[in-house]
Amino acid sequence: MIELKNIEKYYSSKGIKHYVLRHVTTTIKQGEFVSIMGPSGAGKSTLLNILGMLEEPTYGTYEFMEEDVTRLNERKRIELYRNHIGFVFQAYHLIDEMTVYENIEAPLLYKKVGGAERASRIADLLDRFNMVAKKDLFPNQLSGGQQQLVGIARALAAQPSIILADEPTGNLQSAQAEEIMQLFQKLNKEDGITIIQVTHSEKNAQYGSRILNIADGVVKDDITLTAV
Amino acid sequence: MFKLNLKIAWRNLWKNKFYASINITGLAIGLTAFVLLLLYVNYEESYDTWSPELKNVYQVREFHSYSAPDNKQYWQTSNESRIAALLNQNIPQITAVTKVENDWYQNYALTVKDRKSVMIKGIRNADSAFFKVMPYSFLKGNEATALSKPNSIVLKKDLALKLFGTEDIIGKTISIVRWEGDDITDFTVTGIVTEPNTPQSVSFSGIIHTGEFDKHNQNPTMHKYVEIYARLLRNADLNQLNANVQKVYINNLKTTFTNSQSSYADYLKSGNVPNCKLLPIDEAHQNPPFVAGWIKKIKPVSLIVTFLLLISIINFINLATAQSFQRAKEVGVKKVLGSSKGLLVRQFLMETGLQSLFALLICGVLIELFLPAFNQQLGLNISFWSNHKLFFILLQLFGLFLIITLLAGFYPAKVLSNYKPATVLKGTFSNSNKGLVLRNSLIVLQFVISVTLIIAIGAMQTQVNFMNQKDLGFDKSRVINISANYDEKIANDIRKVSGVQYVGATTQVIGNAFAYADKINFQGKKLNLNMVTVTMEAFPALGIKPLQGRLFSPLYKQDTVNTVVLNESAAKQLGGVVVGKQFRSYENVFQIIGVIKDYHAESFDKSIIPTIYKVTYLGGMSANGNLLVRFNSSHYQAIIGKIEGVWKKYYPNYPMNYQSLNDAFIHSLEDNSRFMNMIVIFSVISVSLSLSGLFALSTFVAKRRTKEVAVRKVLGASNMQIVNLLNKSFLHLVIAANLISWPIAYILIKKWLDGFAYRIDMPVLPFIIATITSLIIAVLTVSIQARKAAIANPVKALKYE
């Protein structure tokens, strides 16, 4: 599903190149649950941003579903966002002016899903995450864990094939974090959704099927975990 | 999607109530001024458009100097009456021509049997062709025959109802006394016409037909001036037509010189340009003779109004871009959820549109509130909801709404939709200096406008003070001007009223001046000088004293024959010391007996023209309706009552009209003071809008820099230093604005002052005052917010995050 070849990312200032990523080459198949790990400033988030097409690599090729996306035009990229990619953020990034229901609805509106279909999908998600009673609340009326659940529900609404999560549990207490990780695992196993997450926590990484260890912009280890 | 965006927009507005209300109120005020202007322009544009047939109606304009205030040639609306027949006979495209008496803006006494007389303005005499040219629709009576018999009258519906209370009045009689000495004349009502739905250049409340206008003026040396209107065949080529009109006019003019002393060549030599033209009637209103048309008059106003709207739009843009970081996250998230830039731009434009819409609604309310006052100020009758062009006006408003939304919303929408999700979603993004340069330049622009207006007020006030205090050359207190021609018998009776000091008449007095130039020959020098006829007591009545020589007096026999008094300007033209000298005018010799100070008979935009005063007959030739009465005490209200008693004896059917010269003077300044009032109102609004914008913006900046302020305080900055820090970022903008506005204000004020023949030198004080004022209020405005930021506990700001 994802094919990275020789991805490099650097910023040049005063003639000196500061590398963030070097020679990153890897393949991620449909249905994998990958955790990107490494110390602060290693380039984890940059890699995830490149995977999410939020940043462009300076060099190298990136194929997403057999399509070279490094030179993708805006229109095509938006199409990918609408149909294939769901984002989950550390700071949740729910839209404050929208209720829970409306936040989940937003991607469906962009995807131009019909009204009845929309209502049933949202109802499904609310039901699945036990949020029915909270659907008319605004994000600031929810706890962090609940906000992240809404964030995940929103990412799932468009029925993406891949979820990109940047430290999804970074702002949460451990009990809530565990809940989110179990949810990810379930989504990965039962629904076959590819998940790529950036995490600091060894424990969270264990929920996945593969770990990419990055240090100083270079992939040091690529460990495949066998299911327990 | 739209519904959701609308909801978000509403929630955002509610969250930022304070800024939103500043935006919306500001915009509403700017819009109100603009819409009033729009209504006014629509009103003026609608003149003479009430019937499609008016496309073929033309006003005749002769280029002549008769009755012009400064003896120069103008395209006048009143023409030699013979032109009417001349055009009718020689221009084949003309189907009908009508002669109408000038509107003297005079009250006529109308009496219906068994009812009280009423004073009515706008009763005009016309020939029988009037309704063949003017396409009025008849409610009662027959258009073709209404004016065919002498002594008939056609009324507008309003007047008919006022006089009779009913429309069934065909054949009834109205008795009319037109001028104070006239006999009662009975007119038979032959028609009622509906009031057209747009204003008319040829306005009237009733058209009378005495028959006098049907006759051809037979005496070639007698000139009679009337308004002339012509109806043409469809699709006449105006250029070609006017070439013909001019030819016909000049050919005729040449023939009029055959039996008089001067020749056509002389006429040309003295600088006259003979010309005559047809003007489409819908252009008549915007091209009045003597004064500037409404388009020119309204120019400075429209400029100010546009600036006002601009200021409120600037507030909008500034607050929106300053606020934009609040929305950055939303933009980032929406982008990764699959929103395109176009969709985001549309969303933000819609938010702006929502605010403009609110502003427009408030504006609608404000218009309803202010329209009556506006109408009263300008003497208009504009309505909004019952305007016959309502649809057109609403269309204009919709256009305005779109333009404002785009102007105010496009840039912020562009800034917002350009945010990159990778930067804004990292979590550390709190603000950017995006749009800072634009924001600062917009603030400068706002203050340039405000400071320029403040300077303008100062300069205008100085000129107004100058005009109010200027020596007019005559004493305007304790004098009234009765509109009546001089009659020695009545004058003598008025003199007998105790408290009356002098009774005189002149054709040159403030409020009603009339200029007529005559040729003189002074020691071989040929000159054209303004001639004014006065009565013996005119100068004492005006409180004018001689500078050299003496004034007219009944003691000298020749004063009623051939002596003259000059004003200073005329004396200067003749070489200074002129008393005792003589000049010739035609075959007569005149002796100069005195010189008086120049006195003002017109508003200050006109210079006093060199004038010769003479008393030709004992009573003077002052047939211009100025009967001046000077009192010996300033409590003269009771004396006027007694004079009215005298008046009644002579003119029982005609009430006395009078005005004090003080009022006439105030009236002559009225145009100017109205303009001044408007500038003051607009300046106050524009300054307060600019300040409210600055206030809101400083609030934002203070909020955005909370952390910086906290850090600085922890490092040991005093409150004062913090306030200064925040002030500094705005203060240099205000100073820059002042520097820019000085030259602009200088040029504008100079231009305005140049319109006055009597004016002050460019004042310096307003510039200084405006600068100091703008700096002080800017500092005060910013300091309110800066102080709040400065005294806040730094721990709070630093703990957060």
Six-digit token string for B159: 């007047």
Q: Which of A95, A99, A148, A163 to mutate to test the interface with B (most CBs of B within 10 A)?
A: A95
Report pLDDT for B476: 87
The whole-number average pLDDT for the span B206-211 is 90
Q: Which residues of B are less than 8 Å from A82 in CB distance? A: 337-338
For residue B739, what pLDDT band results from cuts at 50, 70 and 90?
very high
Instruction: Choose the closest CB to A97 out of B11, B420, B427.
Output: B11
A111/B contact by beta carbon, under 8 A: yes
Q: Which residues of A are less than 8 Å from B422 in CB distance? A: 49, 54-55
Alpha carbons B239 and B103: distance in angstroms, whole number = 29
Report pLDDT for B189: 93
Interface of A with B in 187-226 (CB under 8 A): none
Neighbours of B634 (CB within 10 A): 8
The residue of chain B with its CA nearest to that of A82 is B338
The whole-number average pLDDT for the span B525-545 is 86
- The number of folded domains in chain A is 1
Those residues whose C-beta lies under 8 Å from the C-beta of residue B772, and which sit 6 or more positions away, are none
The residue of chain A with its CA nearest to that of B326 is A96
Q: Which residues of A are less than 8 Å from B421 in CB distance? A: 54
Look at residue A44 and tell me if it is in a domain: yes
Q: Which of B330, B333, B350, B429 to mutate to test the interface with A (most CBs of A within 10 A)?
A: B333
Is residue B723 within 8 A of residue B714, CB to CB? The reply is: no
Min distance A79 CA to chain B CA atoms (Å): 7
pLDDT 10s per residue in chain A (228 long)? 899 999 999 888 778 888 899 999 999 999 999 999 999 888 898 899 899 888 889 989 999 988 888 777 888 888 888 899 999 988 888 888 889 999 999 889 888 889 999 999 999 999 988 899 999 999 989 998 899 999 999 999 989 999 999 989 888 888 889 989 999 999 999 999 999 999 988 999 999 999 999 998 899 989 998 754
Per the model's pLDDT, the better-predicted residue between B437 and B279 turns out to be B279
Report pLDDT for B710: 77
Report pLDDT for B750: 92
CATH code where residue A195 lies? 3.40.50.300
Per the model's pLDDT, the better-predicted residue between A105 and B796 turns out to be A105
Count the alpha carbons within 13 Å of B519 in the hemisphere toward its beta carbon.
11
Beta strands in B517-619 (DSSP E): 517-522, 525-533, 546-549, 563-567, 582-585, 588-596, 611-614
For residue B621, is pLDDT > 60?
A: no
Task: Spell out the domain ranges in chain B.
Answer: 1-46+291-434, 52-284, 448-471+667-801, 484-656
For residue B199, is pLDDT > 70?
A: yes
Report pLDDT for B15: 85
A114/B contact by beta carbon, under 8 A: no
A94/B contact by beta carbon, under 8 A: yes
A118/B contact by beta carbon, under 8 A: no
Min distance A77 CA to chain B CA atoms (Å): 8
pLDDT tens digit sequence for A27-56: 999 999 999 999 988 889 889 989 988 888
Report pLDDT for B799: 55
CB atoms B337 and A45 under 8 Å: no
Q: Which residues of B are less than 8 Å from A75 in CB distance? A: 340
**ipTM of this predicted structure:** 0.83
Which residue range is the domain that position A200 belongs to? 31-56+85-224
Among B76-90, B604-618, B786-800, the range with the most confident prediction by mean pLDDT is B76-90
For residue B398, what pLDDT band results from cuts at 50, 70 and 90?
very high
Instruction: Choose the closest CB to A95 out of B333, B341, B427.
Output: B333
Look at residue A132 and tell me if it is in a domain: yes
- The DSSP secondary structure of B103-149, one letter per residue, reads ----EEEEEETTS--EEEE-EEEB-TTHHHHS-PPEEEE-TTTTTSS
Report pLDDT for B619: 40
For residue B620, what pLDDT band results from cuts at 50, 70 and 90?
very low
Look at residue A5 and tell me if it is in a domain: no
pLDDT tens digit sequence for B265-308: 877 877 788 889 999 998 988 888 887 788 887 888 888 888 88
The whole-number average pLDDT for the span B737-764 is 91
pLDDT tens digit sequence for B662-698: 888 888 888 778 778 877 888 888 888 888 888 888 8
Per the model's pLDDT, the better-predicted residue between B184 and B326 turns out to be B184
Those residues whose C-beta lies under 8 Å from the C-beta of residue B563, and which sit 6 or more positions away, are B552, B556, B590, B591, B592, B593, B614, B615
A146/B contact by beta carbon, under 8 A: no
Look at residue A72 and tell me if it is in a domain: no
A141/B contact by beta carbon, under 8 A: no
Per the model's pLDDT, the better-predicted residue between B793 and B567 turns out to be B567
Instruction: Choose the closest CB to A81 out of B4, B336, B426.
Output: B336
Q: Which of A47, A74, A78 to mutate to test the interface with B (most CBs of B within 10 A)?
A: A78
The whole-number average pLDDT for the span B631-658 is 86
A158/B contact by beta carbon, under 8 A: yes
pLDDT tens digit sequence for A162-174: 999 998 988 888 8
For chain B, list residues whose CB is within 8 angstroms of any CB belonging to chain A. Answer: 1, 4, 7-8, 11-12, 15, 329-330, 332-341, 343, 420-422, 425-427
Look at residue A19 and tell me if it is in a domain: no
Lowest mean pLDDT among B70-74, B143-147, B366-370: B70-74
Opening angle at CA B402, ends B397 and B407, nearest 5: 120
Look at residue A77 and tell me if it is in a domain: no
For residue B618, is pLDDT > 50?
A: no
For residue B617, is pLDDT > 60?
A: no
The residue of chain B with its CA nearest to that of A78 is B338
Report pLDDT for B258: 65
Report pLDDT for B261: 63
How confident is the prediction for chain B on average, in pLDDT? 85
- Please list the residues that pair with B256 across neighbouring strands: none
Instruction: Choose the closest CB to A95 out of B1, B330, B427.
Output: B330
Which stretch of DSSP H or E encloses residue B80? strand B78-80
